[in-house]
Amino acid sequence: MKNGAMSITAETLRTWLEEDKPVFVLDVRPRDQREEWQIPGSHYVDAYQRLKVGDMSVMDEVRIPANIPVVTVCEAGRTSMIAAGELMKKGVEVYSLQGGMKAWSLAWNEAELKNGKAEIVQVRRTGKGCLSYVLASGGEAVVLDASVEPEVYIKLAKENNWQIKYVLDTHIHADHLSRSPQLARMTKSELFMPDQDKVNFPFHTISDNQTLKFGSSVIRAIHTPGHTLESTTYILNDKYLFTGDTLFINGVGRPDLKADSDATRARAGLLFRSLQKLLALPGETIVLPGHTSKPVEFDNEVIQRSLGDIKVSVEMLRLNEEEFIDRVLQGIPATPPNYLSIIEKNLKGDYSDINPVDLEAGANRCAIS
């Protein structure tokens, strides 16, 4: 810290935001990076180039509220340190976010849903928008699509006196490293994966219509191929539908990753039929997806939508099969960065030889709407 400015970890900033502590987060990255993803509620100044060339006057242009700590943010934590140094000279209580947005990639928040027999905690990786879940019933818990460090789920279970019984994934992920194998090992719980012969680690197979009981609750698997061939949706107590990357609250999953154009078309057709299966469920079924396309706010609001509402608002769900396939093929977004390396690690079930954030940094590009 050459200029004497202090720094703050992503975990501390995450906790401040979760606890609603007043803080002025100031993003100083280039505009294109800002547009890709950002910290919810953060402010922006287009200062990157000027700070790089030593033009500190740019910091005079930022209107900082009085008596609120400021956290400056850049991509890796260097330019934000320069910005913090300048603000410090003005007498501002300021911290630079250590490791920048790369470190922020692992930040998370949570929101809860309680309903009779079961409690659902949505654990949201705020930057990437990955949504994972802890489902609890009668002192037993199931973790679904673990995408933040295993310790987060372990701590949550411990605080609530829940014993993690099962760890499940909806599919082999391409946009984040699955923490499920590691979490299952650490908690000595049973790891379930959809039926496939791709991964190279031990797991229990879960296939269409199979059920898992925990506490007084039950999860049933619904095989929903399309996004990937093994993709599986889980329904909790016939009410809550965990759709992974098959169905989002405002769109559907992409069918193209690791597939050539013929395979992509075939998978789009499978996706159509899988979605028909889900759409046949009662309209009041609650969809809890595997992703959201925007950074997740620290608002404790569960990201959810009823199947009935989704049917009305997502127009492409009302297309026929042929139209649907065409729409999906036209709407495929740019491929997510590093997805091949991420899949490779997820097939191994081990990423201990790398720093996860190096592979996972950036926003999510999963949905087609």
Candidate ranges 7-15, 74-82, 123-131, 242-250; the one touching Fe ion (CB under 5 A): 242-250
**φ and ψ at residue 78, rounded to 5 degrees:** -95, -55
Residue 115, strand partner residues: 118
Closest CB to Fe ion among residues 140, 245: 245
Closest CB to Fe ion among residues 244, 295: 244
Q: How far is the CB of 148 from Fe ion (least distance, A)?
A: 16
Q: How far is the CB of 288 from Fe ion (least distance, A)?
A: 15
Closest CB to Fe ion among residues 110, 245: 245
Q: How far is the CB of 176 from Fe ion (least distance, A)?
A: 8
Tell me how many residues contact Fe ion (CB under 5 A).
1
**φ and ψ at residue 209, rounded to 5 degrees:** 75, -5
Candidate ranges 63-71, 75-83, 241-249, 309-317; the one touching Fe ion (CB under 5 A): 241-249
Q: How far is the CB of 265 from Fe ion (least distance, A)?
A: 18
Closest CB to Fe ion among residues 280, 334: 334
CA separation for the pair 130, 145 (Å, rounded): 9
Q: What is the DSSP string of 235-271?
A: EETTTEEEEETTB-SSSEE---TT--HHHHHHHHHHH
- Residue 245 engages Fe ion in binding (rule: CB under 5 A): yes
The pair of structure tokens assigned to 10 is 């992503």
Cβ proximity of 360 and 338 under 8 Å: yes
Closest CB to Fe ion among residues 75, 256: 256
Query: Which residue, judged by CB position, is nearest to Fe ion in the bound state?
Result: 245
Q: How far is the CB of 293 from Fe ion (least distance, A)?
A: 13
CA separation for the pair 75, 156 (Å, rounded): 29
CA separation for the pair 24, 111 (Å, rounded): 23
Q: How far is the CB of 366 from Fe ion (least distance, A)?
A: 6
Contacts of 50-59 with CB under 8 Å at 24 or more apart are 51/79, 51/82, 51/83, 52/79, 56/86, 59/83, 59/86, 59/87, 59/90
Which x/- pattern, by CB under 5 A, does the window 321-340 give for Fe ion? Answer: --------------------
Q: Which residues bind Fe ion (CB under 5 A)?
A: 245
